[in-house]
């Protein structure tokens, strides 16, 4: 069972067909995309849709150094601590950020 952070990251990867390392996801299906969309809260999903329209593939990004890779702002300490367990929205550009450890656990 994926948490909301993991589901959001998975949905983004499925929609673009690439994982965070730009590897092709070969076995993605519309059914899995629909399942992910159903599991993310509507408010988060609509925010994601707006981000996607603006930033396309970089709407959701990973960071392991506490810096938003989209706009290069350094995240505040409390957000860096949140990255491993929940969705974090960059204060400046709004992108959805996560720590790669949160996703490695998803595939483990
Ligand atoms: Zn940012």
Residue by residue, DSSP assigns 33-79 as HHHHHHHS-HHHHHHHHHHHHHHGGGSEEE-SSSB-TTT-PBPPHHH
Going from the Cα of 48 to the center of ligand 1, the distance in angstroms, rounded, reads 14
Going from the Cα of 27 to the center of ligand 1, the distance in angstroms, rounded, reads 30
Q: How many domains does the chain have?
A: 1
Domain encompassing residue 73: 4-107
What's the confidence (pLDDT) of residue 13? 92
Q: Per residue in 33-54, pLDDT tens?
A: 999 999 999 999 999 999 999 9
What's the confidence (pLDDT) of residue 105? 64
In the chain, which residues have pLDDT < 50? Answer: none
Going from the Cα of 31 to the center of ligand 1, the distance in angstroms, rounded, reads 31
Going from the Cα of 66 to the center of ligand 1, the distance in angstroms, rounded, reads 11
Output the pTM of the full model: 0.89
Residue by residue, DSSP assigns 15-30 as HHTB-TT--B-TT--H
What's the confidence (pLDDT) of residue 1? 65
């Amino acid at each position: 069972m994926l948490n909301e952070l993991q589901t959001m990251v998975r949905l983004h990867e499925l929609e673009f067909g690439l994982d965070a390392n730009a590897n092709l996801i070969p076995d993605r299906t519309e059914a899995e995309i629909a399942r992910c969309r159903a599991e993310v809260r509507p408010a988060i999903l609509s925010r994601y849709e707006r981000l996607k329209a603006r930033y396309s593939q970089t709407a959701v990004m990973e960071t392991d150094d506490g810096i938003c890779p989209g706009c290069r702002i350094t995240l505040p300490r409390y957000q860096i601590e949140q990255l491993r367990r929940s969705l974090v929205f960059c204060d400046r550009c709004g992108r959805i950020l996560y720590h790669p450890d949160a996703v490695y656990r998803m595939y483990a």
